[in-house]
Chain A
């Protein structure tokens, strides 16, 4: 815990942690210091000159974003002198900014509009300047209109800080412009369309491409929720209007290195209203899928399940909510009385490889990345890629342990590109040689390991680090956790959002596995969510319960319409072991119901009185604390899915049903 410093801002007594800048300190006391270029979490650059404040004992005004709190400091943020400077700055900016707030999408949240209002500036007192720069709007995600740009540099810095490095200033002075390399449109610049720049822009220069006349900030209802599209489970803020999702923004706290979402999370929501949504139950009649009632569909499935009994098999994605998973578990074991209920998590993990420690990523000063290939560009665990690059820019170090070189290796301090098991083994050996205490078992397991020069260096870094974090693939997690026995935390990173949650809810098979069931192991196969299957596995009866009409659903005997993501609430456990509340943003389309509602309905039709799992139950189950245990230095067998293919496969409806399809068709960023 940092030392607290006492100071006065506008006469208010404020306590702020040592090292805090004056903008953040003022915020603690509820005082807003005007600024355009400051971005919480990044170093102040003092460029916009709006945050000038007067400090007792100082002759001239100081820049608040670059001045740190000091004991006994007395700060005045609204003196005549600084207000005059601020007004002058806004006056200058207004001379080259369109005065069309009445039709501007950012009205209401535009910082420039607010400051012009505060300083009573209807129009600039300087000669009006217009550059007439070309608008970049050839992509369906982000519209860049340089004529609105106030050159604050937030977009450039946020893009650089997360290591995407697409935006930069061109030229200097008033005529400068934010551009990509060689001023190419975004899709030709290596842009990943994560939209971090959109979140950072204080004006209307960077905006979601489809926002024009789709409502302004005050028209929206907002909920905090969680993106369920990949193993990162990022926090999101969903804005809805008239019952539809209007936009999604990054939802992690301002200033947190985790404040990032990728193009899937930001723009994938189109799929909620895609043409291939299933909105009514369907049943195969004379070889053809026909719409039917819930009553008929539920009864049909109930009868089929009764008939199949213990030969029935349930397969689900690991992107379903905890409450759905727990209800399914109970439904399968208590009502249908089958042991066969498994999820896609079993393709890449198991209880002992998925459940791991959890840690504070924003305080991590060393990352060890084992057998993971996070990439913003491929959109494989993109948030981890961004977090690590941000932390590196803030001084953290990275060690990559991988048998083939991942993209992120280019920013690593040390790369151990070799067999992961032997690398981890020699790293452990080197750490023990450095005096870290280990138990006998671990010590003897690594006795024969060779320590190369690179491993020696890696061990030195690890031994020095205050909060080292090992992020590992589930297959390598048991081996990685051996290092956490000495020091630090090891975290297993799954492919799907709620893999940890479904395992904690006990939705792991006691009978046939996912693989067995999908290769003819169940007479009745009941698929929940977008399972990565395109052809019907051998089964007498196939039920598909999903939000979209997938290839598999087209081959089903019964299709049950389920709520899509953002249409159901509940909880999930992210890769870092954090229990997160997933809020419902919109009502399910048509007659769609949440997974758990459907299970309860079928149970009722089967004569069982089953209740939906409650949040209090799932919370209890999700409280498991995992301590690392000694395991042999080896890769867990049978957990070798191709992560990029799997993410694409379980999100096929999201990608094909939204503007994300454009990325695939235009083959951008490949």
Chain B
């Protein structure tokens, strides 16, 4: 299930930490980077590699909000709608995403290209509205700019 590379990377992470529990979070990141989400099978595998009880892997992975337990699209859009971004028009950006891509918050496009999450402040109030696409940061968004940016993510 996990790629050979991921297994190797998790092994290296394990060696960096004194106990298996400490290496669990970074190991889950490796899996999420590879699969986009944490499937039950992947959680099981991580538990087995690290020798951490399966129940504990599940517990830790559900405690932290940044781990996903459902598949997501190839690219994850995280759009801020907090006060500054809201005043600067993030609402209309949400509308664009819905009209153009059929994308609703917490949803995924039919072609599996984009998933959308509405975020709390991402610390870009001075250049609002802002979003993250995967790990790329984009600010000063307008209705036109957001479309141009997203066209680069296939």
Q: Is the CB of B51 within 8 A of A181?
A: no
Q: Is the CB of B54 within 8 A of A182?
A: yes
Closest to A183 in B: B58
- Is A244's CB within 8 Å of the partner chain B? no
Q: Which residues of B contact A181 (CB under 8 A)?
A: 43-44, 47, 53-55, 57-58
Rounded to whole angstroms, the CA-CA distance of A170 and B55 in the bound complex is 9
- Is A212's CB within 8 Å of the partner chain B? no
Number of interface residues of A (CB under 8 A): 17
Q: Is the CB of B40 within 8 A of A182?
A: yes
- Is A95's CB within 8 Å of the partner chain B? no
Given A181-B44, A182-B40, A168 and B51 touching (CB < 8 A)? Answer: no
Closest to A163 in B: B53
Q: Which residues of B contact A169 (CB under 8 A)?
A: 59, 62-63
Q: Which residues of A contact B56 (CB under 8 A)?
A: 160, 165, 168
Size class of B's contact patch?
10 to 19
Q: Is the CB of B55 within 8 A of A189?
A: yes
Q: Is the CB of B59 within 8 A of A170?
A: yes
B61 CB to closest chain A CB (Å) equals: 9
Interface residues of B in 53-110 (CB under 8 A from A): 53-59, 62-63
Rounded to whole angstroms, the CA-CA distance of A190 and B44 in the bound complex is 13
Interface residues of B in 2-48 (CB under 8 A from A): 40, 43-44, 47
Q: Which residues of B contact A189 (CB under 8 A)?
A: 55
Q: Is the CB of A168 within 8 A of B53?
A: yes
Q: Which residues of A contact B62 (CB under 8 A)?
A: 169-172
Q: Which residues of A contact B47 (CB under 8 A)?
A: 181
- Is A544's CB within 8 Å of the partner chain B? no
Q: Is the CB of B63 within 8 A of A165?
A: no
Q: Which residues of B contact A183 (CB under 8 A)?
A: 58
A189 CB to closest chain B CB (Å) equals: 7
Rounded to whole angstroms, the CA-CA distance of A170 and B59 in the bound complex is 5
Closest to A189 in B: B55
Q: Which residues of A contact B58 (CB under 8 A)?
A: 168, 170, 179, 181-183
Interface residues of A in 382-422 (CB under 8 A from B): 410
Q: Which residues of B contact A172 (CB under 8 A)?
A: 62-63
- Is A166's CB within 8 Å of the partner chain B? yes
Rounded to whole angstroms, the CA-CA distance of A172 and B62 in the bound complex is 7
- Scoring B43, B47, B53 by chain A CB atoms within 10 A of each residue's CB, the highest score goes to B53
Q: Is the CB of B53 within 8 A of A171?
A: no
Q: Which residues of A contact B57 (CB under 8 A)?
A: 181
A409 CB to closest chain B CB (Å) equals: 12
- Give the interface of B toward A (CB within 8 A): 40, 43-44, 47, 51, 53-59, 62-63
With A181-B43, A181-B47, A182-B54 known, 13 other A-B pairs at CB within 8 A are A160-B56, A166-B55, A168-B53, A168-B56, A168-B58, A169-B59, A179-B55, A181-B54, A181-B55, A181-B57, A182-B44, A189-B55, A410-B51
Which 4 A-B residue pairs are closest in the complex by CB-CB distance?
A: A181-B54, A165-B53, A168-B59, A168-B55
